[in-house]
Amino acid sequence: MSHPTKPARRSLRCDLFLGLSLVVALAVSLGLTVAPADARVADRDLYAAGARSADGPAAGKRLSGRIVVLDPGHQLGNHNFPDQINRLVPAGGFKKACNTTGTATDGGYPEATFTFEVSRLLRKRLEAAGADVIMTRKTNSEKRWGPCINVRGRAGNKAGPDHTGADLKISIHGDGNIGGGPGFHVIAPTDRKPWTHDIYKPSRRLAKVVRHKLHQGAHLPYAGYIAGGDGLDFRSDLGTLNLSDIPTVMVEMGNMRSAADAHRMTTVKGRKVYARALFRAIRAYLA
Ligand SMILES: [Zn+2]
């Protein structure tokens, strides 16, 4: 288990983009024609694509009234608080450590930062579609720890005007398997009375929708090193799943120790791929 120190620097691509934007802004202010002749056509195509696309403006507030819980894995500062995160807490009929440090890429980009950034992108999409989003942590800080798995597991259970709970919860993680190669896998709870008996069936359906949108939708490979290589795992030992009263899955979005996945996970463009696929999965599940 690595102990990451700080998030990656802003990417070179981002700096290049800013530089290019400045050049364009300067050219516009000088009255130069910088747009290609077919710019209006391109704009119209973009609008048409948006109107056709289920992600576009025509999709409206399709998720109005829906409540989604996003659980961005481990807090960045967990490794600074060993006593707190090793404390045993209820995990669904047994006890388990409050939290762990999480993993990181070989370059030191922490899982905590990855999951937080993907969650923020996903939250933005969900809110634009009208959903209410509950985040299990609102910061990504070296000075904070937690939240414990029992808090994360129960998050959203009593949400909503009637306290009947949120519509679903997704716990977002990055895996750390050395030599295992790239790929994601989705984890759903098994049927464990009384803990998950009420939610294991809808959770399995949610898991299959998430797997479909990540694999067929976003062309991400299944992790080959776990769960028979089909991208779908069922576990009874995770407090985050066991204590939920709402349909829930945990997603190991990729293997941070694989160079191919690390590249995707450490770029904004790559994280948008994950967020978009999860958004489409949530929307499909709630349709
Ligand atoms: Zn994790």
Neighbours of 160 (CB within 10 A): 15
Q: What would the pLDDT profile of 262-275 be if each residue is shown by its tens digit?
A: 999 999 999 999 99
Choice between 237 and 27, residue whose per-residue pLDDT is larger: 237
Q: Is pTM beyond 0.85 here?
A: no
3-state DSSP assignment of residue 284: helix
> Which residue in 115, 113, 114 sits closest to 76, CA to CA?
113
| pLDDT at site 56 | 52
CA of 18 to the centre of ligand 1 (A): 33
pLDDT at 55: 56
Q: Give the pLDDT of residue 240.
A: 97
Query: Helix or strand or coil: residue 221?
Result: coil
d(CA 225, CA 231): 10
Could you report the per-residue pLDDT of 137-179, keeping only the tens digit for each?
999 999 999 999 999 999 999 999 999 999 999 999 999 999 9
Nearest-CA neighbor of 270 among 2, 5, 8, 6?
8
With H, G, I as helix, E, B as strand and everything else as coil, classify residue 276: helix
Polymer length in residues for the chain = 287
How far is the centre of ligand 1, averaged over its atoms, from the C-alpha of 129 (Å)?
A: 27
Question: Which tokens is 268 given?
Answer: 């904004």
Residue 6 corresponds to which amino acid?
A: K
73 pLDDT band, cuts 50/70/90, is: confident
Tell me the CA–centroid distance for residue 39 and ligand 1, in Å: 44
- Say whether pLDDT at 76 is over 90: yes
Confidence check: pLDDT of 81 > 70: yes
Please list the active-site residues.
252
Domain boundaries, the chain: 9-52, 61-286
In angstroms, what is the span from residue 153 Cα to ligand 1's centroid?
A: 14
Distance 156 CA to ligand 1 centre (A): 20
Least confident of 49-53, 86-90, 120-124: 49-53
pLDDT higher than 80, residue 254: yes
CB-proximal residues (5 Å) to ion ligand 1? 73, 102, 173
| Confidence at residue 36, expressed as pLDDT on a 0 to 100 scale | 37
Q: For 253-261, what is the mean pLDDT?
A: 98
Interacting residues of 161 by C-beta distance below 8 A, sequence separation 6+: none
* CATH superfamily for domain 61-286: Zn-dependent exopeptidases (3.40.630.40)
How many A from CA of 21 to the centre of ligand 1? 37
> How many Å lie between the centroid of ligand 1 and the Cα of residue 65?
30
d(CA 238, CA 173): 13
pLDDT number for residue 131: 98
pLDDT digits (tens, 9 = 90+) for 6-41: 344 334 343 444 444 444 444 334 333 333 333 333
pLDDT of 32 reads 38
Please give the pLDDT value at position 5.
39
pLDDT tens digits, one per residue of 180-235: 999 999 999 999 999 999 999 999 999 999 999 999 999 999 999 999 999 999 99
User: 93's torsion region: left (phi>0), alpha (psi -120 to 50) or beta?
Assistant: left
Secondary structure of residue 95 in the 3-state scheme: strand
